[in-house]
């Protein structure tokens, strides 16, 4: 019996695809505009055809070639209305209208099922005419014949070691799919006998201590729990585990930050310096920078630019890409390509380093749909197939 099929729009590194494949689907094609993310996708899913293009440039006739697939999944880029971009949010940001191309793909292909993932702020964002974007999105999909259901899902309720709330919408041409019943974990065992949350410590404390200029390691101890066993399956190495190159001044700052603390807990003498003059303290202090994570709880939300946001619970350094990937639910065999980190796109453009204006490894992890959540959604849809 052949596997049910899907295509992945706005595929990124392939978190959503990884989960659906684990659930039992086959990916026919993925569309991704960023070269580094596409490199990562192709490395980990070599049998999937990746279309490296802006979806706005993918013509209707190309989309129609995928008629017959069972499912379309996609998360139209959210920078235009994400809370993380609230200081630069614009109602006329062209990215705000990429959802229309998701609708166009659905209209051309008419799959049995659809999944949309996005930041939770999508429910509040208004278009230029004052209408809620989500209302317009839903109305267009309903007109195409889909019965829809949406819900905010927290990744930690699926066994992901991360407190990550995201918007998910599922649609079917047949019957409405109920999302409320698929969560598998909770803070305490309750009447439904759900499993407890996975803590940060349980997720990453089997990984080797990283050292500079080393990106590949052998495991140096046995897995300590079921989650680590799951992450190690199919891999005999640890990849993407090189630490950031912190200066001694930064390391000294980290030493003063306690668990659950941030840069605000560091003495003023250890805070940021003014750009261009290391002898002058900066007046800008951001409470979201350099937060030391609590090892006994799920991690805070991993975002696209998280690398300077979090400090390892016990070591005076930021997280590695592999640790972040574990927190997102990527298996250890999944490898990330492209540069580990780069300057901001704005600064790269200013310096003329256009060849690095891509999604670095930290961006790829932070932008991804957790494969574990995607797998749960895939299994739910399989029941309806």
pLDDT at 116: 98
Compute how many other C-beta atoms are within 10 angstroms of the C-beta atom of residue 123: 15
Quote the domain boundaries for residue 340: 200-367
Residue 195 in any domain: the answer is no
120-149 per-position pLDDT tens digit? 999 999 888 889 999 999 999 999 999 999
Shared domain for 98 and 218, answered yes or no, is no
Task: Express each pLDDT in 315-340 by its tens digit.
Answer: 999 999 999 999 999 999 999 999 98
Residue 304: the pLDDT is 83
Q: Indicate if 292 and 153 belong to the same structural domain.
A: no
296 and 259 within one domain: yes
Evaluate whether 109 touches 66 at the Cβ level (below 8 Å). yes
Instruction: State whether 250 and 326 are in the same domain.
Output: yes
CATH value at residue 27:
3.40.50.150
Of 46-60, 70-84, 193-207, 243-257, give the lowest mean pLDDT range. 70-84
If asked whether residues 101 and 120 sit together in one domain, one would say yes
The answer to whether residue 29 is domain-embedded is yes
More confident residue, 212 or 284: 212
Residues 9 and 151 in one domain: yes
Contact 88, 133 (CB under 8 A): no
Contacts (Cβ under 8 Å, ≥6 apart) of 261: 291, 292
Q: Is 78 a catalytic residue?
A: yes
Please list the residues that pair with 376 across neighbouring strands: none
Domain CATH number, residue 283: 3.90.120.10
**pLDDT exceeds 80 at position 212:** yes
Question: Does some domain include residue 231?
Answer: yes
Average pLDDT over residues 263-291: 64
| Residue 263 confidence (pLDDT) above 90 | no
- Exposure string of 350-361, with b = 16+ CB inside 10 Å and e = fewer, is eeeeeeebbbbb
Residues 378 and 346 in one domain: no
- At residue 88, the pLDDT reads 44
Instruction: State the total domains in the chain.
Output: 2
Residue 193 lies in a domain: no
Tens digit of each residue's pLDDT (9 = 90 or more) over 145-182: 999 999 999 999 999 999 999 999 999 999 999 887 78
Give the rounded percent of residues in the chain with a pLDDT score beyond 70. 84
Residues 124, 96, single domain; the answer is yes
How many CB atoms neighbour CB 142 within 10 A?
A: 12
Contacts of 213 (CB under 8 A, 6+ apart): 242
Cβ density class 162-193: b for 16+ within 10 Å, e for less: bbbebbbbbbbeeeebebeebbebeeeeeeee
The pLDDT value recorded for residue 375 is 98
Question: Contact, 219 vs 208, CB < 8 A?
Answer: yes
Q: Please tell me the distance from the alpha carbon of residue 201 to that of residue 219, in angstroms, as a whole number.
A: 17
- What does the CA dihedral 295, 302, 243, 281 come to, rounded to 10 degrees? -90
Is residue 77 a part of any domain in this protein?
Answer: yes
Question: Do residues 183 and 239 both lie within one domain?
Answer: no
Which one is catalytic: 13, 21, 51, 78? 78
% of the chain with per-residue pLDDT over 90: 69
State whether 219 and 352 are in the same domain.
Answer: yes
- Residues 64, 136, single domain; the answer is yes
């Amino acid at each position: 019996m052949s596997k049910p099929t899907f295509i992945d729009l706005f595929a990124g590194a392939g978190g959503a695809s990884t989960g659906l494949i684990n659930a039992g689907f086959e990916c026919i094609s993925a569309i991704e505009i960023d070269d580094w993310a596409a490199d990562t996708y192709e490395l980990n899913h070599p049998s999937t055809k990746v279309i490296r293009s802006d979806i706005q440039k993918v013509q209707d006739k190309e989309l129609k070639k995928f008629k017959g697939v069972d499912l379309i999944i996609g998360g139209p880029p959210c920078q235009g209305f994400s809370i993380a971009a609230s200081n630069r949010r614009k109602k006329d940001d062209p990215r705000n209208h990429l959802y229309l191309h998701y609708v166009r793909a659905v209209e051309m292909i008419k799959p049995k099922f659809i999944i949309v993932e996005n930041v939770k702020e999508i429910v509040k964002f208004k278009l230029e005419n004052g209408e809620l974007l989500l209302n317009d999105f839903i109305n267009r999909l309903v007109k195409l014949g889909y019965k829809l259901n949406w819900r905010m899902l927290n990744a930690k309720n699926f066994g992901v070691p991360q407190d990550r709330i995201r918007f998910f919408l599922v649609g079917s041409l047949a019957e409405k799919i109920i999302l409320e019943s698929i969560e598998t974990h909770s803070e305490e065992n309750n009447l439904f006998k759900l499993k407890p949350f996975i803590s940060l410590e349980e997720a990453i404390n089997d990984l080797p201590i990283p050292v500079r200029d080393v990106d590949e390691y052998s495991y140096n101890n046995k897995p300590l729990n079921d989650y680590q066993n799951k992450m190690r399956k199919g891999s005999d190495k640890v990849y993407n585990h090189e630490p950031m190159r912190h200066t001694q001044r930064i390391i000294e700052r980290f030493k003063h930050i306690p668990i659950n603390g941030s840069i605000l807990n560091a003495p003023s003498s250890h805070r940021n310096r003014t750009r261009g003059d290391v002898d002058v303290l900066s007046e800008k202090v951001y409470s979201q920078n350099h937060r030391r994570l609590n090892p006994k709880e799920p991690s805070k939300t991993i975002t696209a630019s998280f690398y300077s946001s979090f400090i390892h619970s016990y070591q005076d350094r930021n997280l590695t890409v592999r640790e972040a990937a574990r927190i997102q639910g990527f298996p250890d065999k999944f490898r990330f390509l492209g540069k580990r980190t780069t300057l901001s796109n704005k600064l790269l453009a200013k310096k003329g380093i256009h060849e690095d204006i891509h999604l670095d490894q930290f961006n790829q992890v932070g932008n991804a749909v957790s494969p574990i959540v995607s797998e749960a959604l895939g299994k739910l849809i399989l029941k309806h197939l």
